Structure 1
Amino acid sequence: MTKPSNFIWYELMTPDPDGAARFYGAVVGWTIPATRDPAAGDMDYRMIGRSDGGNAGGVLALNADMIAGGARPVWLGYLEVADVDAAVAAIAADGGAVQMPAFDLPVGRIAMVTDPQGAPFYIMAPVPPEGGGESDAFSVTEPQRVRWNELATSAPDAAIAFYKKHFGWGQDGEMPMGELGAYRFIQRGDVGLGAVMPLMDGYPAPVWSYYIGVYDIDRAHAAVRANGGTVTNEPMEIPGGEFAMNAIDPQGAPVGFVGPRTS
């Protein structure tokens, strides 16, 4: 491994991209077009536009066949690797599972896998962008990007060892959660990626959750309720003085939001 892996893309799988566009436009300020990206071929895939002109990720429309096959509304993250096929083989050999074998897209080679505890994610070897540079879909500080990546898992120690081994991450520091156990912070070099925590009641299976940056947590909270979402955890102050909350979007995908309280 030449460098620790980063989250380079995020994808919302939903049966209603137009409904998702209305919801995330109101809550986050994103723009999701009303028509599919022509480069996506037969798939209904739409880019998520930020106010600064960049892309926050993509939206994949779940069709009837996907739903019949078990697909459900969810956010999934993409981790960058140098060699997708080698990474798939190593993950499978270490107890992970292959959900979608490796295949090529115009933007790179991808596969969908799960870790040994069952949390799904993509791995991707992207085609280098013109002019170079890294993806900015994840940012520790900026709104309209994912700012925090949180893994709820049935085996935190084993999961941390797995991601250290295959993606080069570190684990330093934790926050006690009483009887629930520890909330353990994970890093890519000196950048805080997120945390790993024990699976709690309400989580049917191990899963990654993603917290999207908003300009004001109270305005986002009100917009979730006003636009058909369901708040599952009210805004709570986090280290550093900002606030985080959890919700389910109108189509059923769990999602988090994080940002300041400005009034």
Structure 2
Amino acid sequence: MPSNFIWYELMTPDPAGAASFYGAVVGWTIAATRDPSAGDVDYRMIGRSDGGNAGGVLALGADMLAGGARPGWLGYLEVADVDAAIDAIKADGGAVHMPATDLPVGRIAMIGDPQGAHFYIMDPVPPPGSEGMESDVFSVTEAQHVRWNELATSDPDAAIAFYKKHFGWGQEGEMDMGPLGAYRFLQRGEVMIGAVMPLMEGYPVPVWNFYIGVDDIDRAHAAVTANGGTITSEPMEIPGGEYAMNAIDPQGAPVGFVGPRK
């Protein structure tokens, strides 16, 4: 079975500030206090209006920032065997940035693909009563879920080959971006989950970008600027008639938003 994005994590030095921003822009509720099951780490859940979780927030402490951590979003890809995946990824030129670690929610590791884009791999432990159910943090259509996963990379051909081999994805179809190159679509089975694009000016390193669903792109645009964020790419119409835009949240994490214009 092809791997799925099963979790998204915001790394930020100011969880309360992030809660205010994403609450206004997306409608999420980020917990005011750390999750007690996370031990010594300040980790908080992101709640959706429907009662589900959209992901988590990791507070970046002074030691993490001193060690080079920066605000940003990371995705988690499900694998059946974290250790076997690490070995295979390292053999193909990937890197391990956090070794395999057991948590109450599963076994995880932070990986860098051969071009340098970071993500987690995870063999999750399902919550009681949800065995066999798929994570719903990603949705093609729904607001308050991540709706699109976009990889900007220095070598699209190599990156596509890597993710096809290790995570079972497909790559069919593309959109011509003129001098910027091809925007090449990724599929998990029959579901289009995102795309791979060439690294452009302004992207210092390869990176996964995530587009969060909003109910109204113009309302979200106004909320970004009113709540301390910065728009880096104005709303642009995408296939299907909705609009996507890019921003930087008040704490410095790049983020995308996608939704209808009402």
TM > 0.5 between the two? yes
Instruction: Output the CA distance in 1 between the equivalents of 2:234 and 2:180.
Output: 19
RMSD: 0.5
Q: What is residue 53 of structure 1 aligned with on the other side?
A: 51
Instruction: Output the CA distance in 1 between the equivalents of 2:250 and 2:53.
Output: 22
Instruction: Output the CA distance in 1 between the equivalents of 2:102 and 2:31.
Output: 24
Q: What is residue 76 of structure 1 aligned with on the other side?
A: 74
Q: Secondary structure at the match of 2:93?
A: coil
Within a 5 Å distance, the mapping from 1:24-43 to structure 2 comes to 24-43=22-41
> Deviation at 1:51?
0.1
Percent identity reads 83
Letter in 2 for 1:180: L
Q: Secondary structure at the match of 2:163?
A: helix
Q: Secondary structure at the match of 2:98?
A: strand
Q: What is residue 186 of structure 2 aligned with on the other side?
A: 186
Letter in 1 for 2:203: Y
Instruction: Output the CA distance in 1 between the equivalents of 2:247 and 2:222.
Output: 12
Q: Secondary structure at the match of 1:152?
A: strand
Which consecutive residues of structure 2, in runs of 5 or more, have no partner in the other structure? none
Q: What is residue 228 of structure 1 aligned with on the other side?
A: 228
1:8-55 per-residue CA deviation (whole Å, 9 max, x = no partner) reads 000000000000000000000000111100111111000000000000
Q: Does 1:111 align with 2:109?
A: yes
Q: Secondary structure at the match of 2:17?
A: helix
Q: Secondary structure at the match of 1:111?
A: strand
Instruction: Output the CA distance in 2 between the equivalents of 1:131 and 1:160.
Output: 32
Instruction: Output the CA distance in 2 between the equivalents of 1:197 and 1:158.
Output: 12
TM-score by length of 1: 0.98
Q: Secondary structure at the match of 2:122?
A: strand
> Deviation at 1:128?
2.5
Instruction: Output the CA distance in 2 between the equivalents of 1:66 and 1:89.
Output: 26
Q: What is residue 155 of structure 1 aligned with on the other side?
A: 155
Q: Paired residue for 1:120, among 108, 111, 118?
A: 118
Q: Does 1:102 align with 2:118?
A: no
Q: What is residue 130 of structure 2 aligned with on the other side?
A: 131
Instruction: Output the CA distance in 2 between the equivalents of 1:218 and 1:179.
Output: 28
Q: Does 1:246 align with 2:246?
A: yes
Instruction: Output the CA distance in 2 between the equivalents of 1:160 and 1:183.
Output: 12
Q: Number of aligned pairs? A: 260
Q: Secondary structure at the match of 2:208?
A: strand
Q: Secondary structure at the match of 1:5?
A: coil
Within a 5 Å distance, the mapping from 1:2-13 to structure 2 comes to 3-13=1-11
Instruction: Output the CA distance in 2 between the equivalents of 1:74 and 1:194.
Output: 18
Instruction: Output the CA distance in 2 between the equivalents of 1:122 and 1:208.
Output: 11
Q: Secondary structure at the match of 2:220?
A: helix
1:115-157 per-residue CA deviation (whole Å, 9 max, x = no partner) reads 0000000000001232331000000001000000000000000
Letter in 1 for 2:130: G
Q: Paired residue for 1:88, among 83, 86, 92?
A: 86
Which consecutive residues of structure 1, in runs of 5 or more, have no partner in the other structure? none
TM-score by length of 2: 0.99
Q: What is residue 21 of structure 1 aligned with on the other side?
A: 19
Within a 5 Å distance, the mapping from 1:191-206 to structure 2 comes to 191-206=191-206
Q: What is residue 143 of structure 1 aligned with on the other side?
A: 143
Instruction: Output the CA distance in 2 between the equivalents of 1:109 and 1:50.
Output: 25
Instruction: Output the CA distance in 1 between the equivalents of 2:202 and 2:73.
Output: 17
Q: What is residue 216 of structure 2 aligned with on the other side?
A: 216
